[in-house]
Structure 1
Amino acid sequence: MSSLYGLIGEKLGHSFSSIIHSIIFKELSIDGNYHLFEVNNEHLKDAVCGLNALKAKGANVTIPYKVDIMKYLNDISIESNKIGAVNTICFKDNKTIGYNTDYYGFGIMLNKYNVNVKNKTAVILGTGGASKAVVQYLLDKEINDIVFVSRDINKVDVKFKKFKLISYDEIKNIKQKDIIINCTPCGMHPNVNISPINKEDMSKFKVAVDLIYNPTQTLFLKYADELGLVSINGLYMLIGQAVKAQELWNNIEIDSAICDKIYYKINSILQGGNNE
């Protein structure tokens, strides 16, 4: 009998999760089915209980439920507690355990492109949910300094209060830094003709990372390429977090070659303009 997996979220029409996990199932000969579960907030607890009752093996969680889902789980992993968000659930022995594989996916992506953050300096654009896993990974890997950029520095999550916070108008005053990371949706399909910062400010960095993967080259990354920076989009992180989830669900280790194979397949779909 096939094992049940899925994605819990509010609006999932453009998710690539089913495609990614189907490729993993095929490559590793896992007998599984991955479904998309669009759930209203008032039914979130019911969704967790229902999947547990159906003896699902695992589920991913996407916006806007990565924080709310935590109160309905039996246990939370160390990295999820530190981050304050869960994006993966393991169903084991009638218990639910929350993990954050965005954290690992971000690390897998940086390792893929040989980006070492130890003792480096970083600027993170955005203080929303996407930035929580990113900042925790950077701290755990001994980054030297982090500056956050927010549209409203007075309304940021308490988690970010211990860091230097600046507005977008103040980016022009930043001195040379190593890495800039876009954790905002600015530039995402279909609004592809905008960038969170201008080309001149981009020149202050050596590495530019955009968590957006559609389009594969945002205007933000186009500026980076034109300036000769190392530029990385979020597709490998998306794949890395899915692979890590499968490792947790099935207690296995997945070779990096599988990540590469998935990357080329999904990238081909994106380049072809198919974002379903």
Structure 2
Amino acid sequence: MEKHLYGLIGEKLGHSLSPQIHERIIDHLGVKGHYDLYELERNQVCDAVKAFKLLGFKGINVTIPYKIDVIEHLDWISKEAETIGAVNTVHFKDNKVFGYNTDYYGFGMMLDAFGVSVEGKTVAVLGTGGSANSVICYFRDKGAKEIVLVSREKKDGCITYEELALCGSMDVVVNTTPVGMFPKVENSPVDKEILSKFKVAVDLIFNPMETLFLRHAREAGLKTVNGLYMLVGQAIKAQEIWNNTVIEDKVVEQIYQYILKEFSQKL
């Protein structure tokens, strides 16, 4: 049986859970494969994509800060990746290189799994990076009533955190910034007073499992969701693309529960 090669490229990958997640998916699919980590400098991205193609890789994932850089080295990108302006999944097929954004799908899987609906709701998105674009695109597609974009600095289409403090009640707030991520776990993008304006708080960070942002939200009585399910969901979608298959929802849940159990104490 042919061995399928997969990997993740990024700048700092020491705490990545991607190999463990993908190995579980590979086992479920019954294919012979291996998933590895590749830390790269920005000037190495182009040569790396060429090398993976020549070596016969099935696919790679791309994480910060290269989700935009990688686009110029692809032959084609999907509709959602084009809309978002970022690629996190690359597929090598028929001597060409295809790009997708599975963060979009992983985010949706996470909200569905935790019973968070955004249709007709007012939502706030903290941050303006590539991850924010995935969230914004999903909210638009799912019929959010109003999307409030929040940035540290005044930008077109955004309000500042100071202005957010003056807003009335809303429904869902999503942190797409790295604020509160390990090892700087003592920080939160907003305080408990601002969080009290919302009903649901979602943090794309999964390390730590409960950021200060989510702890403040929980203490203020909000429903809270961390980013671990999204990480599993986007990996599932990537493997579906690479292996031209569909993976059942129950498998997503099983792998999520496995990762949660095995690694929550380490995060």
Q: Give how far 1:153 is off.
A: 2.0
What pairs with 1:44-193 in structure 2 (closer than 5 Å)? 44-154=45-155, 161=156, 163=157, 165-193=158-186
Q: Give how far 1:228 is off.
A: 2.3
Q: Identify unmatched segments of 5+ residues in structure 2.
A: none
Letter in 2 for 1:185: P
C-alpha distance in 2 between matches for 1:28 and 1:256? 14
Q: The residue matched to 1:34 in structure 2 has which SS?
A: strand
Deviations 1:95-149 (A, max 9, x none): 0000000000000101111111111111111111210111011111111111111
C-alpha distance in 1 between matches for 2:215 and 2:5? 40
Question: Which moves more between the two structures, 239-248 or 113-122?
Answer: 113-122
Q: Give how far 1:243 is off.
A: 0.3
Q: Which residue of 1 aligns with 2:258?
A: 265
Letter in 2 for 1:251: N
Q: Which residue of 2 aligns with 1:223?
A: 216
Q: Give how far 1:167 is off.
A: 1.3
The number of residue pairs the alignment matches comes to 266
C-alpha distance in 1 between matches for 2:190 and 2:67? 27
C-alpha distance in 2 between matches for 1:42 and 1:185? 23
Contact 2:84 2:130 (8 Å CA) reproduced: no
Give the TM-score normalised by the residue count of structure 1: 0.93
Deviations 1:154-200 (A, max 9, x none): 4xxxxxx3x3x211122220101010000111111122222111111
Q: Displaced runs of 4+ in structure 1, greater than 4 A?
A: none
Letter in 1 for 2:16: S
C-alpha distance in 2 between matches for 1:16 and 1:222? 23
What pairs with 1:248-263 in structure 2 (closer than 5 Å)? 248-263=241-256
Deviations 1:14-57 (A, max 9, x none): 11111110111122212111111122222211111111111111
Q: Which residue of 2 aligns with 1:39?
A: 40
Contact 2:6 2:35 (8 Å CA) reproduced: yes
Q: The residue matched to 1:43 in structure 2 has which SS?
A: helix
Letter in 2 for 1:105: G
Contact 1:216 1:270 (8 Å CA) reproduced: no
Letter in 2 for 1:3: H
Q: Give how far 1:268 is off.
A: 2.4
C-alpha distance in 2 between matches for 1:271 and 1:245? 23
Q: Identify unmatched segments of 5+ residues in structure 1.
A: 155-160
C-alpha distance in 1 between matches for 2:42 and 2:82? 21
Q: The residue matched to 1:242 in structure 2 has which SS?
A: helix
Q: Which residue of 2 aligns with 1:158?
A: none
